[in-house]
Amino acid sequence: MRENRVGGNGHHTECRNPATDEVLGYSPLHSPEEVAGFIRKAEEVHSEWSALPLKRKIVAMKKIRRYMVDHLDDLALSIARDNGKTRMDALATEVFPAIAALGYYCRKAAFFLKDRSVGPSSLLFWNKRSRIRRLPFGVVGVISPWNYPFVIPFSEVVMALLAGNCVVLKAATETQMAGLALKECLDAGGLPEGVFSYVNMGGPDASRAFLEHGVQKLFFTGSVSAGKQVAELAARKLIPVCLELGGNDAMLVCEDADLHRAASGALWAGFQNAGQSCGGVERVYVHKDVYAPFLEILKEKTLRLRVGYDLDHGVDVGCMTTLRQVETVQGHLADALEKGASVFVRAASYSGKDSSRFVTPVVLTEVDHSMKVMREETFGPVLAVMKVQDMDEGVRLANDSTLGLTCSVWSRNGKRAETLARKIFVGVATINDHLMSHGLPETPWGGPGETGGGRTHGQQGFDEMTLPSVLVQDRFAFFARKNLWWYPHGPSVYQGIRGACHFFYGHDLMQRLKGSWGLIRILPRMLKP
């Protein structure tokens, strides 16, 4: 349980371990006025930070990386205690990917930010040199979730800073200790005051404060309903937003799949982080010919799972982070069972002192698309497995969703798997794997529909941190005194531009030759003042 309580110098968030209810610490709460002050300070220092050579920014980032490498165990422990996941999960899916992402963006930032030349669209503009440059927005706001409280905001903050922005980060109220650990990492970079600021306040209040007090772009990761509210607020001021709002992701198991690998992949992608992964597997569509053997293998592996709280690696699945999410999962399970689903297998239940946050991983069968587990984001350790007659049916059912973050196809035939994957309308499709591309900093992350809009990670994610600005230069301005279409106008100018249309785009040789004469006649006017 997290409560806002009065601390030594004002209001604080009391941070507790969701598995044990142990008090971990207190995080100061900020008011909208304080947020406004952070944004004003960021605006003041932005020009200086953006003008700093990229190499100098990278020096700061490498200090951050060194601090993280030197404090790996402390970071993993802090995240695990604050979120409820295992320490292995915290290290493998949060700390390591964050370090890898920082190194990747430091290596690639110069390439991502360099000017791009654009070739002329027509010989008529042969003398125009066009380049696209990337300009930082200024002050970027980041609002991050509690399920991956470290790695999700970390990558966005690093990309924004390297691109020349200042950043104000609002970490999830539920996982403030992980957020404060991230702040310590950023502080180790020795960034100038105001370049990075950390905020603790409620999500809706933070969204309003960020948008009302002048962030130039907002990155939000959270629920669909909250994301829609953020988008509505941002639209009133035409502030661009990048939204990542979740998934109800599908896994397709073909008749020629390696069933042991597929079952192990489903186990990982369905139950890792207690199922609290927007890119995890929730729906599994299995070809009828391998449905029964796949389930038997999945059953055997599920029964071996260890559920509980043990920071010394004695468990595989930890607890859920919030009681609200526990209620959502229980509601989806009740809905499925009421509509005819069956519990095929449950893992061994946690029998510790406080079991309210522990949801036993479960595999459901006899499911259909009338059930919430197949239509909405459950965000818990529930796998719903459905038999399909063929993989075309699997593709159709996978696409029967408003959420399209990720999917996976499992087959020994790589070409066939790719063909199936290309038919599924998602942001990320993986073959014979799942729930790992977020850890590849080179690949963009995001999806269509109610999954959100925009991308993070990769070059596309880096582009989200900047505005494209076109620079057009006339390479022969010293020679040509005016353009063909400049004043004064007259019949000859009209005929000349008309001739240009025929010369460049005419449908036969005769039309082009006639057009060339009108164009040639007005070319000398370019030399006259």
In the 8-state DSSP scheme, what is residue 130?
A: E
Kind of pairing, strands 128-136 and 466-474? antiparallel
Q: Give the model's pLDDT for residue 314.
A: 92
Q: Give the model's pLDDT for residue 515.
A: 93
* Domains (range + CATH), the chain: 32-245+460-469 (3.40.605.10), 249-440 (3.40.309.10), 480-527 (no CATH)
**Do 77 and 230 touch, CB atoms closer than 8 A?**
no
Dump pLDDT digits (tens) for 23-70. 999 999 999 999 999 999 999 999 999 999 999 999 999 999 999 999
Q: Give the Cα separation of 298 and 295 in Å (integer).
A: 5
Measure Cα distances from 237 to 215, 230, 450 in Å.
11, 11, 22
Q: Give the model's pLDDT for residue 36.
A: 97
Closest residue by Cα to residue 437 from 458, 409, 464: 458
Q: Give the model's pLDDT for residue 477.
A: 85
Helix spans in 304-457 (H): 323-338, 372-375, 391-398, 414-421
Q: Give the Cα separation of 37 and 356 in Å (integer).
A: 40
Q: Give the model's pLDDT for residue 354.
A: 77
307-327 per-residue burial string, b: 16 or more CB within 10 A, e: under 16: bbbebeeebbbbbbbbeebbe
**Do 495 and 484 touch, CB atoms closer than 8 A?**
no
Q: Give the Cα separation of 32 and 313 in Å (integer).
A: 41
Closest residue by Cα to residue 411 from 269, 239, 253: 253
Taking the CB of residue 131, how many other CB atoms lie within 10 A of it? 14
Going residue by residue through the chain (529 aa), what tens digit of pLDDT does each one get?
A: 344 443 334 589 999 999 999 999 999 999 999 999 999 999 999 999 999 999 999 999 999 999 999 999 999 999 999 999 999 999 999 999 999 999 999 999 999 999 999 999 988 898 899 999 999 999 999 999 999 999 999 999 999 999 999 999 999 999 999 999 999 999 999 999 999 999 999 888 999 999 999 999 999 999 999 999 999 999 999 999 999 999 999 999 999 999 999 999 999 999 999 999 999 999 999 999 999 999 999 999 999 999 999 998 999 999 999 999 999 999 999 999 999 999 999 999 887 777 889 999 999 999 999 999 999 999 999 999 999 999 999 999 999 999 999 999 999 999 999 999 999 999 999 999 999 999 999 999 999 999 999 999 999 999 999 999 999 999 888 888 899 999 999 999 999 999 999 999 999 999 999 999 999 999 999 888 8
The answer to whether residue 244 is catalytic is: yes
Q: Which of 244, 376, 377, 450 is catalytic?
A: 244
Q: Give the model's pLDDT for residue 10.
A: 54
